[in-house]
Structure 1
């Protein structure tokens, strides 16, 4: 008998909002190897699901602290990406709307929690040598451009 609870994100009736955070420490970016489906073992940026009642910035800071043990300063919004996986019959198996943020590392040593298989700081110059989805590489490059433009000014995130 299988006592595992069904995954509410598998074959959903609506998209789930996820928050990814591109974290920079000087000229390095933190990459996370996913520990769970979908896309288990893919290198990506750390993050997770937004919870009811929290802004995307709050979700980003919480997820980073939970998944990596790091304290970060969110600088702003990078992009919004839809991640949709279909099964062999064409049915939507997973659908995440991913809000990607850019942040600067402030404190802590990166330690992976159970949602993450591994964490690695990678020099931006070595990014092309890392196996990852091209959209992830594009988001990281855009985050690098945006962080240089933000300076000390935080990006805008509105809630009402």
Structure 2
């Protein structure tokens, strides 16, 4: 599957991990979005569930283990070239995740990773919609990093 000038949208996942009132963020190390901060994630591989893809991507990009709790939001990332042609088109399912173990380190497609408070997020160059989604996650999960609904697995089978 070619990512640049694809024939169809590409399905990807992001993981929103909240721990002690801070959100895990990754700075992209390659196009598209090089230098931009976003939730860590990547492309879903054939045969993977959304949860499996998110858990794998977090391990590959950040070196931590998470447990996916549930889908949290869906966004489109459509980038066009100077001629107006679709250069990149991702449909990203952001998953709320619970930190299990490890300390984040930049690896794979990331140049930096780290935990950021709501105040710190405002000073980062972020992908569109990331700040709003991060604030919503911080509000739902709370400062402890474990909201009341965080332990409930999705029962609808979409993960």
For the 8 Å contact 1:57–1:157, the answer to whether it is kept is: no
Are residues 1:61 and 2:55 paired? yes
Structure 2 equivalent of residue 51 of structure 1? 45
For the 8 Å contact 1:101–1:143, the answer to whether it is kept is: no
For the 8 Å contact 1:76–1:157, the answer to whether it is kept is: no
Structure 1 equivalent of residue 144 of structure 2? none
Q: Can you list the C-alpha shifts for 1:111-150, whole angstroms capped at 9, x where unaligned?
A: 1113101001112333222221341111212323444352
TM-score (norm: length of structure 2): 0.89
2:87 to 93, 108, 118: 93
Are residues 1:115 and 2:109 paired? yes
Measured at CA, do residues 151 and 10 of structure 1 come closer, stay the same or move farther in structure 2, by a change above 3 Å?
A: closer
Q: Does 52-61 or 118-127 show the bigger shift?
A: 118-127
Task: Please tell me the root mean square deviation across aligned C-alpha atoms, in Å.
Answer: 1.9
**3-state DSSP of counterpart to 1:113:** coil
Instruction: Kindly state the Cα deviation for residue 106 of structure 1 after the two structures are TM-superposed.
Output: 1.2
Q: Distance in 2 between matches of 1:43 and 1:157?
A: 31
**3-state DSSP of counterpart to 1:32:** strand
Q: Distance in 2 between matches of 1:157 and 1:70?
A: 26
TM-score (norm: length of structure 1): 0.88
Larger Rg over CA atoms: 1
Instruction: Kindly state the Cα deviation for residue 24 of structure 1 after the two structures are TM-superposed.
Output: 1.1
Count of aligned pairs:
154
Q: Distance in 1 between matches of 2:66 and 2:82?
A: 40
Q: Does 148-157 or 119-128 show the bigger shift?
A: 148-157
Instruction: Kindly state the Cα deviation for residue 153 of structure 1 after the two structures are TM-superposed.
Output: 1.2
